[in-house]
Structure formats: structure tokens, C-alpha cells
Chains A and B, each alone.
Chain A
Amino acid sequence: MRISIPVLVAAAFVLAACSSTGDNSGDTGSTGQSTSSGNTQVATAPAGPKPGSQMDLTINVGDRVLFAFDSSSLSAESRTTIERWAAWLKTYPANSVIIEGHTDERGTREYNLALGERRADSARDYLVSLGVNTNRVKVVSFGKERPAIAGSNENAWGQNRRAALVLAK
């Protein structure tokens, strides 16, 4: 039995937010600010994600880069994000990561598996070119099998065409 670190951190985060406000807004993923109506109270408990954690990566660094339809080219914005990944990995030399490649639902299954691999690889190549040791970076493609967002619309498809950085356990 093993509970992954990101889940534990997230759970602690929610508890802290609840105890400081007594009014769980349901927005547990963002900042930890508490603004319960009436009695104003500044929450001091949640200091933010544990440095070097998946939550840290997701919130403070940005854990994903997006792609155009049927493309694995990195945009300028994606390169900036990956440069932050490289800096983060230099700060936490014990961390290893997995880059997950994903596609939208507008392609066939096998091709999308290959396209997801191409995207993950494109992100890895740039990350490694920035000096991150290739042994610390694995890639895996999920094709169209694990969308970030449900729905058959342009917004969802745009969010789902992604490479996401995940802390290896």
C-alpha cells in the first residue's frame, strides 16, 4: 500500500484551508487565501506547496505545455515553460520526472499514441538540451486516452493537446 506524495500534500492543503476558514469554498487547488464572509481572518497555516513536490511543480512552475493540432512543435511559450522545468530540476537534483504526451480526441487511436510520444519526446529533447541529465527524464504516451478536460469542443481539445511533467515516484 503506497499513497503518492502529491495526494498527501493536496489533502493537507484542503484540511488547512478548512480549518482556517470553517467554510470550504471548494476551491482547493489555488492559493490558500481564506476570505470567509464577516470575520476577516488571514490564514497563515498553508505556506504553499512543499518545495520540490508535484504541487510545487504544478502551481509555481507550470506542469504542462500545449500543442497545435497534429503538431509536436514547441511554441515560444512552451520553451519558456520547459526552461522553468530545467531550472526546477537543477534546484531539486534528486527529482526524476516523467513527461506524459497526450492528444485531443480528433484522431485515430494508434496514430494518437504515436503523436503523444512525439510530443513528449519533443519536450524531453528541449529539456535535455538545457542540461538536464537524460536519465532523469522518462516519456510515456497516453494518446487520446487521458484527456485533461472532458468535452468535444475547441477549448477542451486545445487543453488536451499537451505534454505534462509528472514527478516520478
Chain B
Amino acid sequence: MNFELKRPRLFSAVLAALAITVLISAPVRAEITVDITKGNVEPLPIAVPDFVAGGEAARRFSADIASVVAADLERSGLFKPIDKRAFIAQPDGLAVTPRFNNWKPLNAQALVVGEIGIEPNGALRVSFRLWDVFSEDQMTGLSLTTTQANWRRVAHIIADTIYERVTGEVGYFDTRIVYIAESGPPEKRIKRLSIMDQDGANHRFLTDGQTLVLTPRFSPAQQEITYLAYFNNQPRVYLFNIDTGEQELLGDFPGMTFAPRFSPDGNSVVMSFAENGNSDIYAMDLRTRRVRQLTNSASIDTGPSYAPDGRQVVFESDRGGSQQLYVMGSDGSGQKRISFGDGRYATPVWSPRGDLIAFTKIFRGDFHIGIMRPDGSGERLLTRGFLVEGPTWAPNGRVLMYFRQERSDERGRGGTPRLFSIDLTGFNEREIGTPVGGSDPAWSPGPLKQ
């Protein structure tokens, strides 16, 4: 019996708060797949009817969980949830095989049947099965038990499971985004550190806007953010604890530190330090607080980002006369330029899969988001605009988020930045709704591990 649920890490990690069981059924021979390595695939029609409620208390989750699952799948651009109003009948529950003849006329290739119950202790139990409508086989299934407050995460985990089963790629719906919320006119812009789920839900402002804050990045454990803050008008890199709100200055540098990023093991933060008109890259070991200088050139070296194995760092430097991308060992050895196209290259960020580097490119007056291989080959530009900047990878390395800003008029109107996501293939560009403007997004490195 093989359900191809290769998520042991997630399972064990979330067990404390969330119990998950794989639902057993007949051997799988379903053939629905979506090949997401090709651009602009035809989205897979999928039916996600309201989950069947076992009892009155469960009823309020029926439609909500189904719509979060459907919305996740729809936003990926790979699925097309079928309008509920077209449904011929509602499913009868998990215990019985669905009547596929109710779903075939809608051309639903896949059907999600879910059930919700409230345990005597108040816990929320959600189970689902994914069916291949035309082969009439179960493709996967899960049962999850958690607190009622966690219902959105349950929906995201279900969407991740469906995405993974159908595409063969790990899902990215049970993830969060930190970013900078922006409001007010350009000369007096108010910037607040903010966090939300990947779909914009559970939005929280983490700082009050009194202090200018920039470029937040998640730690691998996701309880901390490293970012740039201007306390007392001194720009320095800080650690911010999401749970406690506590801040900690990183390092004792006599000038501006900026562009921080965690190492993949979470033990170091790499950042730039500016002094006497020259910016170099340093790594700080968070356990010993020892600082090591990685670059030493009379130029602007910034934007460092580790490879997922932690052995290399990609960064930008204008040492050759204009901003270009370079790769070096994580000890600073073997610095080598990798970008050779026309234009300026900036804000490199290594894919969590290791196979690609995303960047911002400024070329002929336009800004672009692009990707290239770590050796600089295979450059592709995914989107462009008056200003598009600062890509961040979804943990599965398939989707990028960045921010976009249009020209503003002489009163500053129209220049509010907004967050967007785009598929690696350059298709499915979508705005991510935020309460006010948004910039500097950073995707969490994976599902929350608790």
C-alpha cells in the first residue's frame, strides 16, 4: 500500500498539536498527474464540496475548510475548482464510495470528500479522501485532529497533500510570509514589520511603525526574524522573536549593518557592514557571537544568500563597475562572478532546492525578476515592471514572491508597493492582498514545526 505521502518530518513535528493518520483504502492506481515543469498547464478541474459535518458543532467548519482548500489549489494555477452551484449532489460521507456519475458530467477529474467532527474534548477532527473520478480510485487520504482554532492550518495541510499527490512536488500552502507593510506618503512612509499566512489570512502587525524597518528574513525554526531597524536613527541588523516581540541587536559594528539572512542551519546570520563608503559581507555565528569577514573589496558587496547546503553564498557586488552576482564559499573563498548579461543584477536568493538563483535585474530602465543556474547559465526573466524587486522562494522552489511598484505622480500617488507571486515558469502571476501596501516579502522555509 503506497500513498506516496513522503512527509515524515512534518508528521512527527506537528504531532504534538496535530494528529494525522493516513486513511487506508484500496491500492492506488490512479493516473491523474499534473506536470508542473511545463509552463501554462491546463488547470485540473477538481470538485471540493463542503465537508460533511458530523453533528451541529462541526457544521460551521464545513464550507470554510472546503473554501480554503479550493482557494489554495486555485491560486497555484494548477487546479480549477468547479463552481459549487454546478454540483448535482453532495457527498454522503467518507465511509461510502462516492457516486462518481454525479461528478463525471461536471468533468471533475478529481473529487475531494471530507468529514468534520468535534470530539468530546472539543478537538476538531477532519478527514478527507481524494478520488480520481474517472478511474474511481482513491488517490490519497488523511485524518487530522487538532484544536478548532487551527482549522485554517488543517485546510492548508489538506491542500498541500492534494497538491503533492497530483504534482509530485511538496506543497507550500501551510506556510507564512513576513513582509513590510507600507502606508503614508513616500516622504513619510510608515513601515511596519508584519506577518501573515501565505494566503493573507491571520495578518498581524509586529511593530508599531515608529521605527523604520526593512528586509525581514525568517530563521529556519521560524520563531525568529532577522531584519534591519533604525532605532535611534542607527540602521542595524536585529533579531526579532515573533512569540515574545523581543529584539536583540546583532553584533557591535561601528556603522550600518544591513541585508541580513540566516544560514540554512540557523546558526549564523550573514549581512553587510558599511564603513567609509565601502560595504563588505560578514557572517556572525549566533552561538559564539564571533564575526567573520567574508569579502574585502573597495566596493558595495551586499545581498548575501546561502545555498541550501550552507557551503556557498551568492551575493551582489559592484566591484567590476556595476552591480553583478558572485558566488563564494561560505568562508569567503573562491569569489567568482556568475552574471554576465546586459544590465545590473541585484538581490540574489538561492532556491531551497539549490538548482536556481532568483534575482532582480535592472535593464534599459525596467526592473525584472529572473532566475539563473548557480553557474550563471540559463538566465530567464519571469516578469518586469517600472519596479519589481526582492524575490523570495516558496519552500518547494516552484513559486516566487516579490513586490511591485508603479510610477507615482508628483504627489506620490500610485507608488504604493504590493506583493505578487509568480510560478517558476513565468505564468500565474497573482497579487497577494494585504491590508495596506507591502514590500520585502520573505517566505517561511516550510510548515511551522509545532
Contact = CB atoms under 8 A, between A and B. Distances in A.
B214 A145 contact: yes
Interface in B194-241: 212, 214-215, 228, 233-235
**Interface residue tally on A, bucketed by range:** 20 to 34
A117 B214 contact: no
A118 B300 contact: yes
B316 A150 contact: no
A150 B186 contact: yes
Interface stretch (B80-88, B145-153, B272-280): B272-280
Contact of B277 (A109, A121, A150): A121
B390 A108 contact: yes
Given A108-B389, A150-B410, A140 B189 contact: no
A168 to B, nearest CB: 10
A138 to B, nearest CB: 9
B297 interface: no
B175 interface: no
Given A145-B189, A147-B186, A140 B412 contact: no
Nearest to B257: A113
B360 to A, nearest CB: 5
Nearest to B413: A150
A110 B302 CA distance: 7
B187 A147 contact: yes
Question: Quick one: which of B277, B316, B410, B411 has the most chain A CB within 10 A?
Answer: B277
9 contacts: A108-B389, A110-B272, A113-B214, A113-B259, A115-B300, A140-B256, A147-B187, A150-B412, A152-B407
B410 A153 contact: yes
Contacts of A121: 276-277
Contacts of A122: 277
Contact of A109 (B233, B318, B362, B440): B440
A90 to B, nearest CB: 24
Contacts of A84: none
Interface string B256-277: 1011000000000000101011
Given A113-B274, A150-B185, A152-B409, 8 more contacts: A108-B360, A109-B215, A110-B302, A110-B347, A111-B346, A117-B274, A151-B408, A152-B407
Nearest to B303: A110
Interface of B: 185-187, 189, 191, 212, 214-215, 228, 233-235, 255-256, 258-259, 272, 274, 276-279, 300, 302-303, 316, 318, 323, 346-347, 360, 362, 386-387, 389-390, 405, 407-412, 415, 440
B279 A114 contact: yes
Given A109-B214, A150-B411, A151-B408, A140 B233 contact: yes
A142 to B, nearest CB: 8
A134 to B, nearest CB: 11
Interface of A: 72, 98, 105-111, 113-115, 117-118, 121-122, 125, 139-142, 145-153, 156
Contacts of B411: 150-151
Contacts of A115: 300
Contact of A152 (B185, B187, B258, B386): B386
A111 B233 contact: no
A108 B277 contact: no
A145 B302 CA distance: 17
Contacts of B408: 150-152
A106 B279 CA distance: 19
A108 B346 contact: yes
Contacts of B215: 109-110
A72 B318 CA distance: 13
B187 A114 contact: no
Given A118-B277, A150-B186, A111 B258 contact: no
A109 B274 contact: no
Given A117-B256, A150-B411, A151-B410, A111 B316 contact: yes
A121 B279 CA distance: 12
A108 B439 CA distance: 12
Contacts of B410: 149-151, 153, 156
A34 B412 CA distance: 31
Contact of B279 (A108, A117, A149): A117
Most B C-beta atoms less than 10 A away, residue of A142, A147, A152: A152
A103 to B, nearest CB: 12
A43 to B, nearest CB: 30
Q: Which 8 A-B pairs have the closest CB atoms?
A: A150-B412, A121-B277, A152-B407, A108-B346, A114-B300, A114-B279, A151-B410, A110-B259
Contacts of B300: 111, 114-115, 118
